[in-house]
A = this chain, B = another copy of it.
Amino acid sequence: MTEESYVDLLGVEDLDGFERREHGGTEYRHYPDYGKVERGTVLYDGEVVRGFPKVPRTLVLSEGVPRYFEDEVAVEEKMNGYNIRVARIDGEVLAFSRSGIVCPFTTKFLRRVYGEELNAVIDERPDAVVCGEMIGRDNPYTSHDYDEVGSLDLRVFDVRDGPTGEPMGVKERRALCEEYGLPSVPFFGVHPVEEAAEEVHAVVSELDERGREGVVMKTPDVSHQLKYTTSAANQGDLAYAFSLPFDYGQDFMFRRIVREAFQAHEFDEDGDRDERARSLGESVLGSMVETVERIEDGDEVGERHTVRARPDEVEAILDHLRGMGLQITVEEDRRDGEDRFVEFVKKTQATNDKTRNYLEGGVVQ
């Protein structure tokens, strides 16, 4: 397809800002930043796959929910994994990352595990893009564990139209996924707006106790979405970020502390706030001190991941990550039945270097 046709399809002036990449001999483009189109928009072999829209967040349920919604609010669980969009282009199922890069690992994994189901959905809805979260501990990007998922699985939270990004309504989408055997994210019902904030508050408290991430609230037609996260998620993120303090953005940390303060204001009764402060302090300080001590002991720290999948799938992800310029150290590598299990560490240079320098008495200017 020519550049002009893409420009027409997208309704933009030009394709500046799109980056070129290659998958299996096919050149494609993706838009990695925010700007003229949704971040992660892909142009692949004449097809457009719109990026997943950024979901706004409220910091105060009791005010944000009634202000943002007019009528009914559908509530689904927000899960802690990595966002993936699955489209069929030229007959091939492809899984795209949030920023619009083909993930060869997820592509192979989903073709094997859900190939039939995905094709069936797309047969019924041509141009459908299945959007979901890949969850479970054995994945190359995140490391949150879910009891209900042994190793890695998909949970669908949206089906959208590729060229327009138009979403399918919540009920229709959940029914479609159920019909064809694709698992959806957990569902917490549809509530009239005047009851929704209170309902969501209760759901979030319960999710928090179970160490889960949060919720996405949606109009039933998914034209509007709003997210809200648990303290467990906020503090879990903080603990992780402060375990690699010089490799994470300070903004990442700051925003999560802000979320905790507004949640404390809205949620906490008497003793709760002290407990929240204590555990926030522990998340921030405890994980950072642990990193300092590991480096003092001569260890290297990094982002540790495990992958348990078919040998070609594991090969694909290691090649892919190295191709992205990451420094990967494989710490364990073995067969596990039909699968290959690999534990690897993505090097986080800044935390190792700076921490070691300070431990050796290097000064801060």
Binding site for B on A (CB under 8 A): 54, 56-60, 63-68, 226, 242, 245, 250-251, 253-255, 257-258, 260-262, 264-265, 273-274, 276-282, 284-286, 288-289, 292-293, 296, 358-365
Contacts and interface: CB of A to CB of B under 8 A. Distances in A.
A104 B286 CA distance: 46
A361 B66 contact: yes
A58 B289 contact: no
Given A59-B364, A64-B363, A365-B56, A358 B262 contact: yes
When A and B form their complex, which 5 residue pairs have the shortest distance between CB atoms, in order from nearest?
A281-B281, A63-B361, A67-B361, A56-B363, A277-B281
B289 A257 contact: no
Contact of A262 (B63, B281, B292): B292
A331 B277 CA distance: 32
Contacts of A60: 358-359, 361
A261 B67 CA distance: 41
Nearest to A279: B281
A63 B361 CA distance: 4
A147 to B, nearest CB: 28
Given A67-B360, A251-B250, A358-B60, A257 B284 contact: yes
Given A58-B363, A255-B364, 12 more contacts: A56-B365, A63-B361, A64-B361, A67-B360, A67-B362, A261-B292, A264-B289, A276-B281, A276-B285, A277-B285, A277-B286, A278-B282
